[in-house]
Amino acid sequence: MAESSEVRILSKSLIRPSPRLCEEDGGRLIHLTPWDLMLLSIDYIQKGILFRRPPTQDADMTLTISRLRDSFAAALDRFFPLAGRLSIANLDTSPPSLSISLKCNDEGADFIHASAPSVTVSSILHSLYVPPVVLSFFPLNRALSYDGHRLPLLATQVTELADGIFIACSLNHAVADGTVFWNFFNSWSQICRSGGCPEVSIPPAIDRWFLDSCIPPIRLPFGGENDFIRRPVYPPVEECVFHFSAAAVAKLKSMVNAEMGTDGQISSLQSLLSLIWVSVTRARRLDPNKETSYMILIGCRTRLTPPLPESYLGNAVHVAATQNVTAGELLQRGLGWAAWQLNQTVALFKESLVRSCLADWVRTPSFSYACTFKPEDLLTGGSPRFNVYGNDFGWGRPVGVRSGAGNKGDGKVTVYPGPEKGSIAVEVCLSPKTLSALIKDEELMRMVSCI
């Protein structure tokens, strides 16, 4: 966990799922797919939601913390693989190789209760810059997904604030993506809100999906972690959260489609990301001849035939890159043109490309690495479709969402739904110098709204 004099850990519990019928002793072994394995050198997913303090009858928080712990345990019963650990097997081959799987051994997930009595909801919610203390609300900071063989795959920290609560989760990225993350969060809040009823709206689908040509376990051509795991050097970055009202998003979409004559073909998100891309490129003061790329994480559950279930408990995400664009061209041609480039990158994305990339990966494994963005590029994760504001634990909707230190590089952009229908929040992580210039960008800030 990040250290901060403002945050004090009050207790830490290891939560294990209830015994399951018909499970072999020691638990099942779930083989990891290329989608999972390529993220072993990436930090944990870290997201958290901000609430105002529950009603006065729970002012001492004892009952609230107990309810949260009990419902977290009940949710873990449904998502029991997340209580396991990664299992690393050195295979008797020449040259050396290894396989990495998820072992459902019920070693447990961490539940942490913390206190930050000097931090207010307003100091987080109404600050354009994300206060550094927020990073201390997250467990397992700076852990890589590979570390899941010795660390919990899932941990949560409930931090009492002066007038609110921050509930954060850290989830191993080699076993789950953002869809799984928010499905777990939604299930946990549903169980807590219902008074402990273990039924959830979207029960997880446990079995992994593999190409027909890929027989698990996948053999990695390495003798040990030093051959493929890199411990990142985290760059000095700062972050801001920009809120765009539903009206601002609709205005931006209408504007870029009118400019390009595309009759609504360019989506709201593509329109908004074009504004971010142009604004950040301007703030970076790049050489006009320097190429800039925009990488977008695209969910693949619905893009396969047959489609994967929404509840698929694993990674199903592909990176699509808009490339061969110079900084000068981007700034000269403007928002509509930038949005069209993003639109075409997504439109050209096909299932055949997904299958080809996965097959190639099995033959020649490669890995994504944390915080390695080029200083001229952007990478966007998250989605405005994730159910963030439906996480009512029994005392009302959250008022904000923030992320932890994981994967924070110069150029990381994370998208969330906003608190009102149709609104979008964008978290932008950049070098201090670039971010300082960005918040002075008039074209961007005219579209930003207060919450």
Residue 448: predicted pLDDT: 96
Residues with Cβ within 8 Å of 331's Cβ and at least 6 positions away in sequence, in order, are: 278, 281, 282, 288
Q: Give the pair of three-digit tokens for residue 194.
A: 């219902």
Helices (H) and strands (E) in the chain, counts: 10, 15
Asked if residue 64 has pLDDT above 70, the reply is yes
8-227 and 238-445 agree in CATH topology = yes
Tens of pLDDT, residue by residue over 234-268, are: 899 999 999 999 999 999 999 999 999 999 999 99
Residue 1: predicted pLDDT: 40
Residue 177: predicted pLDDT: 98
Q: Are 322 and 342 in contact, with CB atoms under 8 Å apart?
A: yes
Looking at the DSSP bridge assignments, the partners of residue 82 are: none
End-to-end Cα distance, the chain: 29
DSSP H helical segments within 127-267, as ranges? 178-193, 246-260
* Burial track 227-266 (b if 16+ CB lie within 10 A, e otherwise): ebbeebeebebbbbbbbbbeebbeebbebbbebbeeeeeb
Tens of pLDDT, residue by residue over 113-165, are: 999 999 999 999 999 999 999 999 999 999 999 999 999 999 999 999 999 99
Q: Tell me the backbone φ, ψ of residue 339, rounded to 5 degrees.
A: -65, -35
Residue 23: predicted pLDDT: 60
Distance CA 166, CA 139 (A): 12
Tens of pLDDT, residue by residue over 202-218, are: 999 999 999 999 999 99
Residues designated catalytic: 173, 392
Domain 8-227: give its CATH architecture: 2-Layer Sandwich (3.30)
Q: Residue 217 carries which DSSP code?
A: S
Tens of pLDDT, residue by residue over 390-415, are: 999 999 999 999 999 999 999 999 99
Q: Give the pair of three-digit tokens for residue 248.
A: 């601002």
The answer, yes or no, to whether the previous bond of 232 is cis (omega within 30 of 0) is no
Give the number of C-alpha atoms closer than 13 A to the C-alpha of residue 126, restricted to the C-beta side. 6
Asked if residue 57 has pLDDT above 80, the reply is no
The model's pTM: 0.96
Residue 2: predicted pLDDT: 45
238-445: in CATH 3.20.20.70? no
What is the domain partition of the chain in residue ranges?
8-227, 238-445
Q: In which residue are the tokens 């200083």 written?
A: 375
